[in-house]
């Protein structure tokens, strides 16, 4: 099969060097790969992807679609005997249409490159995962990536208009016209978004664009309690001044970040902290004043206005230190990605504090409070087997807690290899059965990213 692929795609497109295979076998989750791959195959066109799928399908060989391997759930990890289909060479922005407000791009385009290119046309691509400078558009679509601007613009799914997809048997389909409105069939575009490489290989993506927003500015507010910060966040969310970013950190995270990097300028007496930003072109000053007023009303002990781009970047950078700073406390940490209805956030934080107390391990929580999507981090000493075991049990308890509060075990990072049993528990056998039935229709031989997500 590899000889046949080399003849069709060229020698350099089919790699079996063990070092390359090892390097392409893992994403950033730290999950152990589910097997040793056969080869890395690097197509440069939809036709080549189709040929690879047709060939693999005829022989029942598994195929793992891969982007930049920044995933946090093991979704792109190798499986036994698989072709690792590395799509990063398909990295062309095909078209930017300023009338229809769409961009068409290949899956290997780096997210930030698309954003920068459309900005040169005075346009805006809204999805902004923190990995945007590394991750690919194909990976973002396949994981339905979130980010800090979702509170205003929604997740990646909300930006996707249409997909070109190579099916498991090599056939090429387009899921829908790229129009704003298109209801002539079941919504296969949405089905493919977030499917983590299990239903088809995404080979071209049409995304909706927006006119460029204004410069980002806002406030940070420090509070004496989580409850006060959440009350302020909730009031902002139901008010007329929709923020473009609404982030939260609890006291444990603030202390860890200050200990990790004191230059970030976070207040060392805060028990909870909000970052509230606006990108309104016409009403930014009113937005900022309104956020400050709400924070004051809820007893903020300190409010700082962030009105220059450098300060805003520093604050976003500080928030992004969550994982490294928390891991630094004890040597390692387990990063969670739970989402609950916003009205349950207060209970989530109280129950996390109780859990931390009970198990004797620090848990610090930060995240996208406007979306109800928080990232608790359970810190532990990896050299202490007892502590490591307790940390993993605590991780399971946090996933159960999210479900108990009516939420989900993953708001944006996905299932991959890591959360299969958790999502089984969340959805139950009937829904899981329906989802596996959909997989069987699209991939009856089960060759697309087997053992992941479903
Ligand atoms: C520092 C850092 C910050 C991050 N911040 C965020 C964040 O803010 N929000 C967020 O949601 N995630 C975040 N992530 C997770 C990760 O970046 C996203 O999941 C991202 O969308 C993965 O893109 P990728 O190109 O690296 O895909 P990969 O990791 O290579 O693949 C991810 C999944 O997509 C599938 N896939 C990839 N390309 C295709 C394709 N063309 N067709 C079909 N399936 C495909 C793979 O099989 C796999 O299941 C972060 C990760 C890191 C390391």
SS3 assignment for 106-118? CCCCEHHHHHHHH
Binned at pLDDT 50, 70 and 90, residue 31 comes out as confident
Domains 2-86 and 215-317 belong to one CATH topology = no
Q: Quick check: 264 pLDDT over 90?
A: no
> Could you identify the atom of ligand 1 that is nearest to the CA of residue 412?
11
Report which protein residue has its CA nearest ligand 1's atom 46: 76
Q: pLDDT at position 142, please?
A: 98
Ligand 1 centroid to Cα of residue 145, in Å, is 7
Test site for ligand 1: of 40, 44, 65, 70, most ligand atoms within 8 A of the Cβ: 70
> How many whole angstroms from 129 Cα to the centroid of ligand 1?
9
Written as six digits, the tokens of 318 are 């500080």
Rounded distance, CA 337 to CA 408, Å?
A: 9
Q: Does domain 2-86 have CATH number 3.30.43.10?
A: yes
CA of 72, closest atom in ligand 1: 15
Reported as type and span, the H/E element at residue 400 is: helix 385-404
- Domain 321-414 grouped into CATH 3.30.70.2740: yes
pLDDT of residue 124: 98
CA distance 144 to 150: 11
Class assignment of domain 215-317?
alpha beta
Which residues' Cβ are closer than 6 Å to ligand 1? 27-28, 64-72, 75-76, 87, 107, 129-131, 135-136, 138-140, 142-143, 145-147, 196-197, 201-202, 412-413, 449
Mean per-residue pLDDT, 221-249: 98
CB 28 within 8 A of CB 71: yes
Domain boundary assignment for the chain: 2-86, 93-211, 215-317, 321-414
Task: Encode pLDDT of 193-203 as tens digits.
Answer: 999 999 999 99
Instruction: Residue 364: name the closest of 389, 329, 314, 406 by CA.
Output: 329
Mutate to test the pocket of ligand 1, among 66, 154, 175 (most ligand atoms within 8 A of CB): 66
Average pLDDT over residues 276-285: 97
Name the burial class of residue 390, with classes exposed (0-12), middle (13-18) and buried (19+) by CB atoms within 10 angstroms of its CB.
Answer: middle
Rounded to an integer, what distance in angstroms lies between the CA atom of residue 254 and that of residue 165?
43
Q: Which of 48, 50, 67 to mutate to test the pocket of ligand 1 (most atoms within 8 A of CB)?
A: 67
Is 90 exceeded by the pLDDT of residue 265? no
Q: How confident is the model at residue 45 (pLDDT cuts 50, 70, 90)?
A: very high
Q: Which 8-state DSSP code applies to residue 202? A: E
Strands 83-86 and 39-41: parallel
pLDDT, tens digit (0-9, with 9 covering 90-100), for 79-114: 999 999 999 999 999 999 999 999 999 999 999 999
- Write the DSSP symbol of residue 110: B
Q: Which tokens in the block code for residue 106?
A: 């290949």
Q: How far is the CA of 420 from the centre of ligand 1 (A)?
A: 17
Whether 32 has a pLDDT exceeding 90, the answer reads no
> What mean pLDDT do residues 329-352 have?
97
Whole-number pLDDT of residue 160: 98
pLDDT average, residue stretch 400-425: 97
- Nearest-angstrom CA–CA distance, 383 and 416: 27
CA distance 345 to 371: 10
Q: What is the reported pLDDT for 43?
A: 98
Predicted confidence (pLDDT) per residue in 133-188, tens digit:
999 999 999 999 999 999 999 999 999 999 999 999 999 999 999 999 999 999 99
CATH number of 93-211: 3.30.465.10
What's the pLDDT at 301?
Answer: 95
Average pLDDT for the chain? 97
The CA 198 to ligand 1 mean position distance, Å, reads: 14
């Amino acid at each position: 099969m590899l000889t046949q692929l080399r003849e069709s795609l060229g020698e350099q497109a089919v790699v079996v060097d063990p070092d390359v295979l090892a390097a392409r076998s893992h994403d950033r989750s730290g999950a152990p790969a589910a097997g040793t791959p056969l080869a890395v195959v690097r197509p440069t066109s939809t036709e080549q992807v189709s040929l690879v799928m047709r060939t693999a399908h005829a022989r029942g060989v598994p195929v793992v679609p891969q982007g930049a391997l920044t995933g946090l759930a093991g979704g792109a990890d190798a499986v036994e005997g698989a072709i690792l289909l590395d799509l990063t060479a398909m990295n062309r922005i095909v078209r930017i249409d300023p009338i229809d407000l769409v961009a068409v791009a290949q899956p290997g385009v780096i997210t930030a490159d698309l954003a920068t290119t459309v900005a040169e046309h005075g346009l805006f691509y809204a999805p902004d995962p923190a990995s945007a400078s590394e991750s690919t558009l194909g990976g973002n679509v396949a994981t339905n990536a979130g980010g800090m601007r979702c509170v205003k613009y929604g997740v990646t799914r909300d930006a996707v208009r249409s997909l070109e997809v190579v099916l498991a048997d090599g056939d090429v389909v387009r899921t829908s016209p790229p129009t704003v409105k298109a209801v002539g069939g079941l919504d296969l575009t949405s089905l493919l978004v977030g499917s983590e490489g299990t239903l088809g290989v995404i080979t071209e993506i049409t995304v909706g664009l927006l006119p460029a927003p204004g410069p980002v500015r806002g406030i940070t507010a420090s509070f004496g309690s989580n409850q006060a910060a959440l009350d302020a966040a909730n009031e902002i969310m139901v008010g007329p001044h929709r923020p473009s970013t609404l982030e939260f950190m609890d006291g444990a995270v603030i202390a860890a970040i200050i200990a990790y990097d004191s230059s970030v300028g976070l207040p060392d007496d805060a028990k909870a902290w909000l970052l509230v930003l606006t990108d309104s072109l016409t009403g930014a000053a009113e937005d900022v004043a309104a956020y400050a007023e709400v924070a004051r009303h809820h007893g903020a002990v300190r409010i700082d206005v962030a009105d220059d781009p450098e300060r805003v970047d520093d604050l976003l950078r500080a928030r992004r230190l969550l994982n490294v700073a928390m891991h630094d406390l004890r040597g390692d940490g387990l990063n969670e990605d739970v989402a609950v209805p916003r009205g349950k956030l207060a209970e989530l934080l109280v129950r996390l504090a109780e859990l931390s107390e009970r198990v004797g391990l620090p848990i610090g929580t930060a995240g996208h409070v406007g979306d109800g999507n928080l990232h608790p981090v359970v810190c532990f000493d990896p050299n202490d087997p007892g502590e490591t075991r307790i940390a993993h049990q605590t991780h399971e308890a946090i996933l159960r807690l999210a479900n108990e509060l009516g939420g989900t075990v993953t708001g944006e990072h996905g299932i991959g290899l890591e959360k299969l049993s958790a999502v089984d528990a969340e959805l139950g056998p009937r829904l899981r059965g329906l989802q596996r039935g959909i997989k069987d229709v699209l991939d009856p031989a089960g060759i697309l990213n087997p053992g992941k997500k479903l």
